[in-house]
Structure 1
Amino acid sequence: MSTRSFDSLKLAPAQLQNLADLGYREMTDIQAAALPAAMAGEDLIAQAKTGSGKTATFALPLLSKLNPRDFGTQALVLCPTRELAAQVASEMRRLARYQQNIKVVVLCGGQSIGPQIGSLEHGAHIVVGTPGRIKDHLRKETLSLGRVSTLVLDEADRMLEMGFIDDISAIIDHTPQTRQTLLFSATYPDDINALSQRFQKSPREISVTAFVDDSLLEQQFFICQRNEKLSGLEKLLHRIRPDSAIVFCNTKESTREVCERLLESGIDALSLNGDLEQRDRDQVLVQFRQQSCRVLVATDVAARGLDIDGLPAVFNYDTPRDVETYVHRIGRTGRAGQPGLAVTLLAENERHRLDAISAYQGKELAFEVLAAVPTAKQHMPRAAYATLAIAGGRKDKVRPGDILGALTGEAGIDGKAVGRIDIMDHVAYVAVDNDLAGQALNRLTNGKIKGRKFKVRKLKGQPRARSRGSTGRR
């Protein structure tokens, strides 16, 4: 039996069948290295990036210990952002399908606390959330952590970077000392070690070296003057013309500056940073996923937990400050057997960062002089879709088929012109061919969905940030 086979773990036969049904064929590097110790009940401090399979690494041991008949909170997963918490909870529900009635509740800011309190009143085996909102529930005494047997700190480095250390400490004080604590971090700065020493018991240290698969991911580097970066990024996007791309910046101010320049050059772009309210963040991400925006300009923290299927390209407008962050960024493309492209702009005085990346990967990486790259004859095409927001969602019993039926029925839109549909609790988003968006908006506004009238609007432009004074990293 292969040591990468899930059969080598002490998992219930029903869970093994569930894993096979979900397409889990063999363990990833982090799973093979960490799961045996985690299943044995040991504390872990593991270095692993998004997309490495770390959710299953903590979910499988956690689920194996759950008592389905006890609706007290038996596991707590702390995440830095709402997006990551939602992603983790979704995967945990899939992994928990082999057991009946396992309840996973997400507790994050940016949404009303009332419905969350209502959910908790009916019990929750697993709670996934952000530190600030978890602390709110503890203060209101609407959440009890006295029966937690597993605590997970996911992307702990980002939680510390975002200033959550005091909240994390206060939350952990509410959990039993007998708990198992699993700490995951993409990078491993000194304060992660300090956090581990405070809250873990003789943790097993697991580090899976991140690598770049040259068969899937092409890396390109361009040297330019610092004041040529904006025009250089514009030139490369028009030349490469990816279907979609994430452009990474180191500061919030850079995301705004870059996004404005791209819009001026005719590139459909939106920025994602910590100045946006949660509702606006959700709308930006929906538009990017629905391809009504081609380029997302983001900071590392804002993009944490953002997982886009089939992302063809990543651009580093600002070179990351450490090699691990570089590998984490470019690892968002070239995944699941699909080819990817990672493009990095380097100012003349940043060549040492290319040397560091080369040394980390154990190979020499070539670069081009940006000024020598010819200007593209064609511009990057506009987004294929527009996103319509419908004021009715999951809580209103609205389903994707209802929206598709309204568009192809009363609205008379060809089904091929309808793209992705995303249903939230109180709002739904649908991508419609740009040329037909006006017709679809008019027909939905004046027609009905599932026999009911809903307000409908077209999402347009960058949401207004709550503050423009800060230039921090979030």
Structure 2
Amino acid sequence: MSSKDFASLPLSEDLIKNVASLGYEEMTEIQELSLPAILDGKDLIAQAKTGTGKTAAFGLGVLSKLVLDDYRIQVLILCPTRELCEQVSKAIRDLARMMPNIKLLSLGGGMPFRPQMKSVAHGAHIVVGTPGRILKHLNKSSLSLDHVRTLVLDEADRMLDMGFQDEIDAIIDQTNKQRQTLLFSATYPKKIATIAKRVMKDPLRIELDSQVHEESTIEQHFYKVTSESQRLLGLQLLLDKFKSESAVVFCNTKQEAKDICKDLSKVGFSTLALHGDLEQKDRQENLVRFANKSVAVLVATDVAARGLDIDSIDLVINYHISRDFEVHVHRIGRTGRAGKNGIACSLHSQKEAHKISLLQEFLGQEIESETLPDRSVLKELKYRPQMSCLKILFGKKQKLRAGNLLGALTGEKGLKGDQVGKMHIFDYYSYVAIERQSVNHALKILRDDKWKGRAYKCMLIR
């Protein structure tokens, strides 16, 4: 049996079967190196970039050690953003779907507090949360961490960058001192080393190359601009040249993200923004639409894009060079994931020449600036996504599942399976991507159908 085979680990038969059903053929490097230590109860520091399989590593580890008839919180997972909390929660629920009665709560900030209090009062095996919201629950005495057996700090460097040092310290002080601590980070700055020394017991340290992707995976391009107006034109030229199904444009400020999104929309690009001023429901909807390919371009700030975990991003464009070169690596690492090829483009001016020089040194490679594509690549009709997005006002609370929705859409005289894209089911509403040419047919199918005796309420999101 190969050392990369999940069956070589002391995991339950249900977990091994489910891993296979999810399409995990063999362990990634981070899983192969970390899972034996996690299952053995050791503390762990794992330095690895996003997309290496770290969530499945700690997810399988914590699930394998749960005491299912004990509904006191046994596992606490801290994440920097609400979006990453939701993604980690979904990943662990997927891993646990063959295990009976697993209760997991996602306690992200920006969500109503009282419903979370009620959910916590009913008990849970696993809590996934942001530092600010977890600390609020602790201060309100709605949450106890006395029985936590495993504490996971996911994207620890990002949490510290975002100013969560005090919250993390306060939370750790209230956890069971006999716990196992697992720390995952893309980088290993001094602050991380300080935390590790203070709160971990003889941790195993695993370091995967986190600074650069293989050259065959990400193709980097740098383009020099002479003015801010040419920078915006350059962005349009690059989007038109590469015509990616999924492109992320990174900005350094919220206002810049808003302005660029508006400017791109005016000239016909399918664009949405992701920044800190958006309400949670709007952030969530924008992320869903980008993930299901009903919008082609996402204009985002770094903080808002934390936890953006979408495997099929083909193109990343840095509107300005990031102030932090580790952030530059994190940005371009959104593309070229899971062995796929990706393209990363960066726009820079003469004023940013010093940044280019320092970035060369940081990356350990020479940067050669290229000429922007000719204006002739600009077309009047911009690239439009192949999918549209429907919003249905039913969700988990109405017992709607993806299988039910797919069945309704593809029944007799319905759509073909390949005309239906990704589905996202939330508590009170759901989203489904539909091939653009078939969206009116899909709307008619759902409006003529019923779910549990009630007519489907659905709309096209534009």
TM-score by length of 2: 0.88
Distance 1:46 1:415 in 2: 40
1:61-460 alignment runs, 5 A limit: 61-97=61-97, 99-210=99-210, 211-227=212-228, 228-370=230-372, 373-378=374-379, 379-404=381-406, 417-434=419-436, 437=439, 441=443, 448-460=450-462
Contact persistence 1:148–1:179 (CA under 8 A): yes
Q: Deviations over 1:236-257 (max 9, x none)?
A: 1112211121111122122112
Look up the equivalent residue of 2:258 and give its one-letter code.
Answer: R
Displacement of 1:129 in angstroms is 1.4
Change (3 A) 1:20 1:416: closer
In structure 1, what is the Cα distance between the partners aligned to 2:31 and 2:357?
Answer: 31
- More off after superposition, 336-345 vs 251-260: 336-345
1:148 counterpart letter in structure 2: V
The answer as to whether partners of 1:239 and 1:380 remain within 8 angstroms in 2 is no
* Partner in structure 2 of residue 43 of structure 1: 43
Identity %: 49
Q: Which residue of 2 aligns with 1:463?
A: none
TM superposition shift of 1:273 = 0.7
Measured at CA, do residues 389 and 352 of structure 1 come closer, stay the same or move farther in structure 2, by a change above 3 Å? Answer: same
Tell me the amino acid that sits aligned with residue 68 of structure 1. Answer: L
Distance 2:56 2:407 in 1: 36
Compared with structure 1, are the counterparts of its residues 421 and 102 closer, same or farther at alpha carbon in structure 2 (3 Å cutoff)?
Answer: closer
Task: Indicate how the Cα distance of structure 1 residues 352 and 53 shifts in structure 2: closer, same or farther if over 3 A, else same.
Answer: farther
Equivalent pair of 2:79/2:85 in contact (CA under 8 Å) = yes
Query: What RMSD over aligned residues (CA atoms) do the two structures have, in Å?
Result: 3.0
Distance 1:74 1:400, change over 3 A: closer
> Does the 8 A contact of 1:319 with 1:344 survive in 2?
yes
Distance 1:212 1:356 in 2: 19
Distance in structure 1 (CA, Å) of the matches to 2:205 and 2:342: 31
Q: Give the counterpart letter for 2:72 in structure 1.
A: G
Q: Is the 8 A contact 2:51 2:338 kept in 1?
A: no
Q: Distance in 2 between matches of 1:191 and 1:199?
A: 12
CA contact (8 A) 2:34 2:206 kept: yes
Structure-2 separation of matches of 1:198 and 1:102: 32
Cα pair 1:217 1:334 within 8 Å, conserved? yes
- Give the match's secondary structure for 2:432: strand
Q: Over residues 56-107 of structure 1, what are the superposed CA-to-partner deviations in whole Å (9 max), with x where a residue is unaligned?
A: 3322332333222322111100111122112112222333356433322222
Amino acid at match of 2:126: I
Q: 1:309 to 1:5 in 2, by over 3 A?
A: same
Task: Extract unaligned runs of 5+ from structure 2.
Answer: none
Give unpaired runs (5+ residues) of structure 1.
461-474
**CA, structure 1 residues 150+383, in 2 after alignment: closer, same or farther (shift >3 Å)?**
same
1:435, distance to aligned residue in structure 2 (A): 5.2
Alpha-carbon contact 1:187-1:325 (below 8 Å) kept: no
Mean Cα deviation higher: 10-19 or 324-333: 10-19
In the alignment, the residues of structure 2 paired with residue 217 and residue 263 of structure 1 have an alpha-carbon distance, to the nearest angstrom, of 27
Contact preservation (8 Å) 2:30, 2:57 = yes
Aligned to 2:195, what secondary structure does the other structure show?
Answer: helix
- Could you tell me how far apart the structure 2 residues matched to 1:446 and 1:147 are? 51
Counterpart code for 1:224: V
Cα distance between partner residues in 1 of 2:11 and 2:435: 46
Task: Identify the range of structure 1 (405-414 vs 393-402) with the bigger mean alpha-carbon deviation.
Answer: 405-414
Distance 1:398 1:326, change over 3 A: same
User: In the aligned structure 1, how far is the partner of 2:77 from the partner of 2:15?
Assistant: 21
C-alpha distance in structure 1 between counterparts of 2:22 and 2:415, whole Å: 34
1:252 is aligned with what amino acid? K
Q: Secondary structure at the match of 1:151?
A: strand
Displacement, 1:135? 2.5
CA drift at 1:232 = 0.6
Q: Deviations over 1:372-400 (max 9, x none)?
A: 64530535322333323222211112234
Distance 1:433 1:38, change over 3 A: closer
Letter in 1 for 2:214: D
Tell me the residue number matched to 1:468: none
Residues 261-270 or 82-91, more deviating: 82-91
Q: Against the structure 1 CA distance between its residues 419 and 208, is the aligned structure 2 distance closer, same or farther, given a 3 Å change threshold? A: closer
Q: Is the 8 A contact 1:238 1:376 kept in 2?
A: yes
Residues 237 and 378 in structure 2, CA contact (< 8 A), matched pair in contact too: no
Deviation at 1:110, TM superposition (A): 3.3
1:276 is displaced (CA, Å) by 0.8
Where 1:375 maps in the other structure, the secondary structure is: helix
What TM-score comes out, normalization by structure 1 length? Answer: 0.86
- Secondary structure of the 2:377 match is coil
